[in-house]
Amino acid sequence: MPELPDVEAFREVLATCGQGRRIEGVEVRDESVLHGIGVRRFVRELEGRRLRAPRRHGKWLLGGTDGPTLAFHFGMTGELRCTRDAEPGTYDRVLIAVGGGRCLHYRDQRKLKGLWLLDEAGVRRLLAGLGPDAAAVDRADFDRLLLARRGGLKSALTEQSVLAGLGNLLADEILWRARLHPSRPAAGLGEAERRRLYGALRGVLRTSIDAGRVPPRGSWLTGRRDDPGAACPRCGTALRRGRIAGRGTYWCPRCQPAPA
């Protein structure tokens, strides 16, 4: 599930539930979601810390404290919830009690990613490996990264070291809205096409962040991807499906003509 809009919603959860509060207890129910640290030290380092305003960069959520930073990555199936006296479910891997009966649940079925505990240098190293946040990048930087990129648009948009935050669904949605084929060379776009792409990026992210997810609406390409033989919501042409940059990719062959 998680792409940038989902992680932004988790940031909101962490802020509402935990910001300014002290961590009263930490229960690790599945050690394998912890990275680079064992249970004992993880618990010891966090208990008693006060949570600061959480930050998000791309798909990373950074839960700052008056000590180390708790970094979350949600992989494909992770989520963060704030509960009151709720019994943990099967996939609730880490529970963080923050007082007032509130408890944060890090839930993840597939455990492709997990939690890190980082010092300032660790946070710097993490951010240094990421491109600008897709929701914050300005037009000039966006142009620069496209022009510096060899290879196709789809991989440029989804490569986190180039631009942080977009996943497979959002990339397809943005390219469809901008009427650009996912295999078009990134550096080969004209000025007007880059403007269109940036506009689509802003529009899709705005709507998705407001919704707290990638909206599964019928007027969006995303609403059609599970529907074989589906038609383009704009022109009615049958959508094409293929494997581009290693991911299942959808596009409209009429709205998004293939590169020569």
Partner DNA sequence: CTTTATGTTGCGGG
Partner DNA sequence: ACCCGCAACATAAA
For the bound state, the minimum distance from the C-beta of residue 101 to DNA, rounded and expressed in Å, comes to 29
Q: Are strands 60-63 and 34-35 parallel, antiparallel or unpaired?
A: unpaired
Is 3 a residue of the active site? yes
For the bound state, the minimum distance from the C-beta of residue 171 to DNA, rounded and expressed in Å, comes to 8
Q: Which of 2, 68, 132, 182 is catalytic?
A: 2
Q: Which of 21, 102, 247, 254 is catalytic?
A: 247
DSSP string, the chain: --SHHHHHHHHHHHHHHHTTPBP-EEEES-GGGEESS-HHHHHHHHTTPBB---EEETTEEEE-BSSSEEEEE-TTTEEEEEEESPPP-TTEEEEEEEETTEEEEEEESS-SSEEEEE-HHHHHHHHHTS--BTTT--HHHHHHHHHT--SBHHHHHH-TTTSBS--HHHHHHHHHHTT--TTSBGGG--HHHHHHHHHHHHHHHHHHHHHTS----TTSGGGGTTSTTPBPTTT-PBPEEEEETTEEEEE-TTTSPPP-
Binding of DNA by 182 (CB under 7 A): no
What is the rounded distance in angstroms from the CA atom of residue 165 to the CA atom of residue 47?
Answer: 30
Q: Which listed residue (50, 52, 111, 196) binds DNA by CB under 7 A?
A: 111
Q: Which listed residue (15, 39, 43, 76) binds DNA by CB under 7 A?
A: 76
Binding of DNA by 155 (CB under 7 A): yes
Binding of DNA by 152 (CB under 7 A): yes
Q: Which of 49, 59, 113, 194 is catalytic?
A: 59
Binding of DNA by 107 (CB under 7 A): no
For the bound state, the minimum distance from the C-beta of residue 163 to DNA, rounded and expressed in Å, comes to 10
The residue among 18 and 165 lying less far from DNA, judged by its C-beta, is: 165
Binding of DNA by 158 (CB under 7 A): yes
Binding of DNA by 6 (CB under 7 A): yes
Residues 184-243 that bind DNA (CB under 7 A): 214, 225, 243
Binding segment toward DNA, per CB under 7 A, in 9-17, 160-168, 193-201, 227-235: 160-168
Q: Are strands 34-35 and 114-118 parallel, antiparallel or unpaired?
A: parallel
What is the rounded distance in angstroms from the CA atom of residue 70 to the CA atom of residue 4?
Answer: 18
Binding of DNA by 29 (CB under 7 A): no
Binding of DNA by 93 (CB under 7 A): no
Binding segment toward DNA, per CB under 7 A, in 19-27, 80-88, 157-165, 231-239: 157-165
Residues with a catalytic annotation lie at: 2-3, 59, 247
* Contact positions vs DNA (CB under 7 A): 1-3, 6, 32, 58-59, 73, 75-76, 109-113, 129, 148-152, 155, 158-160, 166-169, 214, 225, 243-248
